[in-house]
Chains A and B, each alone.
Chain A
Amino acid sequence: MTWVNTILQGLLLGGIFAMAAGGLSLMFGVMRIANLAHGDLMILGGYAAAVSTLHLGVPVPLTVLVSMAVLGGLGYLLQRTLLDRAMALSELAPMMVTFGIAVMIPNALAEVFSNDAQPLNIGALGTASIELGGGLAIGWFPLLTVVAAVLVLTGLHLFLHRTQIGRITRATADDPEVVRLMGVDNLKIYALTTVISLVTVALAGTLYAMRQGGVTPYEGQLTVLFAFETVVIGGLGSLWGTLAGGLVLGVAQSAGAQISPDLPLLAGHVVFLLVLVFRPQGLFGRSVLA
């Protein structure tokens, strides 16, 4: 029963990782940008939600839309003003830009909102759980997060594979030069990708803030590590892989914790390294987004 609980809680945890990693996977798949600011953008999304309800009186369930709009808009500006130029410079430049953003976001948040937690309270839902008998209980909110992760990743998958613009996006990922020969403005595709990516980041950040009851400026830095591990375990550029990667990482951490509380992060890292050594393309990986 203990191990059933471990795996169950690990899967719920994995949902959070998958949720956080979706946008990262997409941006990397299309533009080869390793977005180091991913975790901090997630926290920024949490702030957008918390601040909109605290200061503008937006009802808590709707804050997620505010957050998506804010980060989506920010994503557009980011891509157009900074990342496009950085991509033209060199392969490494966009990563350095995102690194700079990762430093600026938490410090700016602390300067404006102080280090205090900005509450985002979802009331009884935050602590409600389903009894499964035998001492097993799973929280409603973690369950909702897993469902949201599956929906987001499914949605992205359908978008990329079943729509015209999705096909163009995949083509751009494969070869931006050729796509331009076909009359497609690849920069527009890049902007769209970043916007979509940041909208999912906003959702992840809002769910994270709701889960924690609030958000503080410096929480994003560990999240980005988990998100990267998730993407790599699952396979770069594969959205189903991202989901699987999240679940594998979650169960690995949970199982590590069951053995000893100081092991979860190590167990996660070990699984990550094993994947890198024995299956470097990841569980579902192909070399390019498909």
Chain B
Amino acid sequence: MQHNESQPARRTVLRALGFGAAAVGAAPLLSACAGGLKKSGQSSDSTIRIGYVSPRTGAFAAFTEGDAYILEQVRARFGKGLTYGGKTYSVEILDRDTGSDPQRAAGIAGELITRHNVDLMLATTTPDTVHPVAEKCESEGVPCVSTIEPWQAFFFGRGGSATKTFKYTFHFNSGIEGLARIETDMWRLFDTNKKVGVLWPNDSDGAAFRDKTAGYRAQTGVGGFTIVDPGAYENGTKDFSSVIARFKEEGVEILAGVPAPPDFSTFWTQASQQNFQPKVATISKAVLFETSVAALPNGLGDGLCVATFWLPAFPFSSTITGQTAQQLADGYERSPLSRGRKWNQGLGFNHALFEVAQSVLTRADPKDREAVAECLSRTTLDTVVGHLTWQGGGAANPVKNVATTAGVGTQWVRRADGSFELKVVSNSLVPTLKLDGKAKQL
């Protein structure tokens, strides 16, 4: 208990230092965050507990394939402990699988908070995991960082607004505006009649895209195009003939949307059977992974475009391991923990969660939840997925709790042996990444 008594004094000193650093405009990376003096939400032992909640199994498991590798690396690094204010804390990471089930995610979050008393929560992949965990954290006053969900869904989907922001829950990810920017960039690479047929299903993603004020059509850059929206089809639809007929009728030359993978497979096969052939197709979600592209019948995946938010060629590196994006991906693929599988975007994003964790836990008193949350809101960090900042507003920090990431336009190109490679075809948001060539028409 001795160190407990001396803590406020030390924190006061550090706070003073922190203010001083901010005053002279020192690099924000090095500035310590101020610790609050409130006793609430504090625990006093010398082990930092980090909860990591992810869907390791179930429908969204593809995004967390890299978890075993990420955790091994991070545990090795955090094994040396994290130091704040001259005191080194040992670190325990409690990783839990939600099975892609929101109820289970809520239960796990509750258990991590009440039983294990975690100091920081990390959550990843889709509203099904992120929302229940973030809700629990917000109500229990535990700082939480999350990713892999469009930020609009994270913020507005949980009731955030211009006047209502969150105190404990923070998020980094691209959003609809970034996606629309990247996709419209790719549309402009082709000479078309600017008619865009969209597949926006009757689910949360489809609704977010369709939304009149914050959705796809409201984004700058979409203005010059005519959106042909046949309506919100149900996931699991087995016959898209009426949608295809509508697209043909309207002379659609551009296809876009967020269909689920099996639905896109159904749609795209039928489109081919019924002679609907757009010039360019930018598809989110359904063609993120090479395996889903390769599984489309008869090589139909060739030439499909997708916005990509992390790939090994990204000119960024990790603040935990020092690896470049390329080295992280290579390291993963070589590791037995990858079980022979290739990198995917989840690897970079989930790794970056721990980068943010390392940053805040060494800049704010890890045992003071309010201080950590407050620190998160003033964090700026160059991670393996790029520049993240939760301060300063603008496109990088559109609302208090959100830091956005950038992406590029990519196209799947079929190699002679039937495998597919992802080529960068537009890079306006990450201009330092060089193009792999010109996009080809479908």
Residues of A within 8 A of B (CB): 2, 5-6, 9-10, 12-13, 16, 107, 110-111, 114-119, 121-129, 135, 137-142, 210-214, 216, 218-219, 222, 226, 250, 253-254, 257-258, 260-262, 264-266
Known: A6-B241, A9-B239, A115-B62. A265 touches B274 (CB 8 A): no
Q: B91 contacts which chain A residues (CB < 8 A)?
A: none
A250: which B residues are within 8 A, CB to CB?
239
Chain A positions within 8 Å of B270 at CB level: 139
**B40 interface contact, C-beta 8 A:** no
Contacts of A135 on B, CB cut-off 8 Å?
245, 248
Q: Is A127's CB under 8 angstroms from B272's CB? A: yes
Report, nearest first, the 6 A-B pairs whose CB atoms are least far apart.
Answer: A214-B295, A126-B297, A117-B295, A213-B297, A116-B291, A139-B273
Q: Give the complex CA separation of A138 and B273 in angstroms.
A: 7
Q: Flag if B57 contacts A111 (CB, 8 Å).
A: yes
The answer to whether B218 has its CB under 8 Å from any CB of chain A is: no
Q: Which of B82-90, B258-266, B371-379 contacts A (4 or more CB under 8 A)?
A: B258-266
Give, as a whole number of angstroms, the nearest-CB distance from B345 to chain A.
14
Q: CA–CA, A210 to B59, complex, Å? A: 21
A142 CA to B273 CA, complexed, in Å: 10
Instruction: Judge whether A219 and B243 touch: CB under 8 Å.
Output: no
A6 smallest CB distance to B (angstroms) = 7
Q: When the two chains form their complex, are residues A126 and B231 in contact, meaning their CB atoms are under 8 A apart?
A: no
Is B289 part of the binding interface, using a Cβ–Cβ cutoff of 8 Å?
Answer: yes
- Assuming A110-B58, A253-B239, A257-B237, is B273 touching A213 (CB within 8 A)? no
Asked whether B297 lies within 8 Å of A222 as measured between CB atoms, the reply is: no
Whole-angstrom CA separation of A138 from B272 in the bound complex? 11
Query: For this complex, into which size category does the number of interface residues on chain B fall?
Result: 35 or more
The answer, among A6, A114, A124, for a CB contact under 8 Å with B242, is A6
Query: A219 near B241 (CB under 8 angstroms)?
Result: no
User: Residues of A contacting B296 with CB < 8 Å?
Assistant: 213-214
Partner of B239 from A118, A129, A222, A257 at Cβ < 8 Å: A257
Chain B residues near A121 (CB-CB < 8 A): 295, 297-298
B61 touches A264 (CB 8 A): no
A262 touches B233 (CB 8 A): yes
Instruction: Give residues 253-310 of B contacting A (CB, 8 Å).
Output: 261-262, 265-266, 269-270, 272-275, 289, 291-292, 294-298, 300
Contact check, A127 vs B232: say whether CB atoms are below 8 A apart.
no
Complex CA gap A87/B340 in Å reads: 44
Q: Does B236 contact A (CB under 8 A)?
A: yes
Residues of B near A216 (CB, < 8 A) are: 261-262
* A214: B residues at CB distance < 8 A: 265, 295-296
Of all chain A residues, which has the CB nearest B291?
A116
Interface centre among B238, B243, B296 (most CB of A within 10 A): B238
State which of A5, A127, A257, A262 has its C-beta within 8 Å of the C-beta of B202: A262
B341 in the interface, Cβ–Cβ < 8 Å? Answer: yes
CB distance from B35 to the nearest CB of A (A): 42
Q: Chain B residue with minimal CB distance to A17?
A: B238
- The answer to whether the Cβ of B65 comes within 8 Å of any Cβ in the partner chain is yes
- What distance in Å separates the Cβ of B17 from its nearest Cβ neighbour in chain A? 48
Q: Are A211 and B269 in contact (CB under 8 A)?
A: yes
Say which residue of A13, A141, A213, A258 sits within 8 Å of B295 (CB atoms). A213
| B237:A9 contact, CB within 8 angstroms | no
B342 to chain A, nearest CB (A): 10
Q: Does B230 contact A (CB under 8 A)?
A: yes
Seed contacts A137-B273, A214-B295; 15 additional CB < 8 Å A-B pairs: A5-B241, A5-B245, A110-B61, A115-B62, A118-B295, A119-B295, A122-B298, A123-B298, A139-B273, A212-B266, A213-B296, A254-B239, A262-B231, A264-B233, A265-B237
Does B330 lie at the interface of the complex (its beta carbon under 8 Å from any beta carbon of A)?
no
CA of A264 to CA of B59 in the docked complex: distance in angstroms? Answer: 24
Say whether B250 faces chain A, with CB atoms less than 8 Å apart: no
CA distance A201 to B14 in the complex (A): 68
Residue with the greatest number of chain A CB neighbours at <10 A, chosen from B262, B266, B292, B300: B262
17 example contacts (A-B, Cβ-Cβ < 8 A) are as follows A115-B59, A116-B291, A117-B292, A118-B295, A121-B297, A121-B298, A126-B297, A135-B245, A137-B274, A138-B273, A211-B266, A212-B295, A257-B237, A261-B231, A261-B232, A261-B242, A262-B234
The docked-state distance in angstroms from the alpha carbon of A13 to that of B294 is: 25
CB A124 to nearest CB in B, in angstroms, measures 6
Contact check, A264 vs B273: say whether CB atoms are below 8 A apart.
no
By CB atoms of chain B within 10 A, which of A2, A107, A254, A262 has the most?
A: A262
In-complex Cβ contact of B65 among A12, A16, A114, A142 (8 A): A114
How many Å lie between the Cα of A122 and that of B300 in the bound state? 12
Query: Chain B residues with Cβ under 8 A from A137's Cβ?
Result: 273-275
Q: Which residues on B sit within 8 Å (CB–CB) of A124?
A: 298
